[in-house]
Amino acid sequence: MSNERMYQVIRFPHVSEKTARLQAASNQYAFEVRTDATKSEIKQAVEGLFEVEVESVQVVNLKGKRKTFRFRPGKQNDWKKAYVRIKAGQTIEELQAD
């Protein structure tokens, strides 16, 4: 997989209290990924970008919220989130919670 495609698959890390607990407890990290990305592409991208070994990938498709914008109904975009578990003893330094 090319470097350009890796950066397109992994859009950015998803940081929240839940993901901080997952990092500490089970060595899992959460990323927002492209909606057309597959599990194997996500695995290759994380291994290539962060130089870690991926154990498993779980993917969640999230529906966009319904909102009103200036009194007009609308909808935010749907998006995909990937939970990536890496091998024990490895970390992604850039995403460590302080």
Q: CATH number for the domain including 56?
A: 3.30.70.330
Q: Across the strands, what pairs with 13?
A: 31
Domain count, the chain: 1
| Residue 94 within any structural domain of the chain | no
Six token digits for residue 14: 């998803």
Over residues 73-92, the mean pLDDT reads 95
Instruction: Identify whether 95 is part of a domain.
Output: no
- 13 pLDDT above the threshold of 70: yes
Residue 37, judged by CB atoms within 10 A of its CB (0-12, 13-18, 19+), counts as: buried
The reported pLDDT for the residue numbered 3 is 87
Residue 92 pLDDT > 80: yes
Q: Is 49 part of any domain?
A: yes
Q: Is residue 8 part of a domain?
A: yes
pTM exceeds cut of 0.85: yes
Domain span at residue 31 reads: 3-88
Q: What is the pLDDT of residues 23-53, one digit of tens each?
A: 999 999 999 999 999 999 999 999 999 999 9
Mean pLDDT score of the chain: 93
pLDDT for the residue numbered 98: 58
Q: 98 in a domain, yes or no?
A: no
The DSSP result for 58-85, as a single string, is: EEEEEPPPEEEETTEEEEPPPEEEEEEE
Q: What string of H, E and C letters represents the secondary structure of 19-45?
A: HHHHHHHHCEEEEEECCCCCHHHHHHH
